[in-house]
A = this chain, B = another copy of it.
Amino acid sequence: MRWRLAGVATRRNGWVADADGLNPIAILNGHFPSSTGPQPQNFREWLERSRADVLFETSSLDAQTGQPAIDHIRTALELGAHAITANKGPIVHAFRELAALAQQVKKQFLYEATVMDGTPIFSVFPMGLPATELRGFTGVLNSTTNVVLTEVEKGRSFAEAIRRAQALGVAETDPTADLDGWDATVKVAALAIVLMGVPVKLEQIQRTGIRELSEEKIRSCRAAGMRYKLVCRAERRGEGVDCSVKPELLLAGDPLANLEGTSSAIRFDLDVFGLSIVEHNPGIDATGYGLLADFVRAVKIP
């Protein structure tokens, strides 16, 4: 498989496109090339100039609108490029439209990196598990709350635990989206929409963050062999699906109770058996790997 980097668009360093190829090592070392010719006026112009076969969409999540990622992906597919994203917004707000467009233009719209990094979740369905019915799932899908709860168990205050998660590079500068359960809620929606075929809205998901938990209670439960985790649940109910994200007290023997650090896990309840997938101790490169894996799947000769 051969590739070249035909364009880079960043928030801070500007946009550059060259269909003949850019030097990725130079860019990684901080030498952002100065543009030749007039600057592209918008995303479409930039992508046209790159003549890219594949777009990697890694803009920040806007949970309320899914933009601008939706427009980026739509434009890529319209221009005949595969669209690969690590952004959950387009799944939650425009999955059917983008999947239909991809099918129409015979390009791939792939998003494995949106949940549990590069772990095969979306890729396992349908061909890993054909002819099954997915009745629901249970998961621990947010690393920041995992790290924070573990640190509080060890005796730190919430504030200290959050600083520790930030120092580890797990929590963002503003940890609100994680602590209030937004990140997990968006993941639940993405999984239910794609894997269960139900167009769940974020406001239909019951959401409780971990801020209201008592530090004392977290520690006393831990001493008694139980652990709080921010648990994600979805259960098919008629045509719809009941979803929730909330702190739950788990027995120590529960596989979800033993997750530490950046590890995450999901259990799928299938008609034929239960199936759990656990990702152990991924680093930031695991998300990059998810994009790479989608790239290989998109361009492989079938």
Contact = CB atoms under 8 A, between A and B. Distances in A.
A124 B118 contact: no
A280 B272 contact: no
Interface string A245-259: 000000011110010
Interface stretch (A35-43, A82-90, A291-299): A291-299
A258 B131 CA distance: 29
Residue in A117, A130, A275, A276 with the greatest tally of chain B CB atoms within 10 Å: A130
A258 B258 CA distance: 10
Contacts of A297: 127, 130
Interface stretch (A23-31, A144-152, A282-290): A282-290
Interface size grouping (class) on chain A: 35 or more
Residue in A124, A272, A280, A286 with the greatest tally of chain B CB atoms within 10 Å: A272
Interface string A100-124: 0000000000000000011110011
B117 A128 contact: no
Contacts of A286: 272-273
Contacts of A281: 273-274
Contacts of A278: 255, 267, 274-278
A300 interface: yes
A155 to B, nearest CB: 19
A238 interface: no
B277 A275 contact: yes
A130 B128 CA distance: 15
A168 interface: no
A281 B269 CA distance: 11
A98 to B, nearest CB: 21
Contacts of A273: 117-119, 279-283, 286, 289
A129 interface: yes
Contacts of A292: 130-131
A279 B274 contact: yes
Nearest to A130: B296
A252 B255 contact: no
Interface of A: 117-120, 123-124, 127-132, 252-255, 258, 265, 267, 272-283, 285-286, 289, 292-293, 296-297, 300, 302
18 contacts: A120-B128, A127-B296, A127-B297, A128-B128, A128-B293, A129-B293, A130-B296, A131-B292, A255-B258, A258-B258, A272-B282, A272-B285, A273-B279, A273-B289, A274-B281, A275-B278, A275-B280, A277-B278
Given A127-B297, A128-B128, A273-B286, 13 more contacts: A119-B275, A120-B124, A124-B124, A253-B258, A254-B258, A258-B258, A273-B280, A273-B283, A275-B277, A275-B278, A275-B279, A275-B280, A302-B302
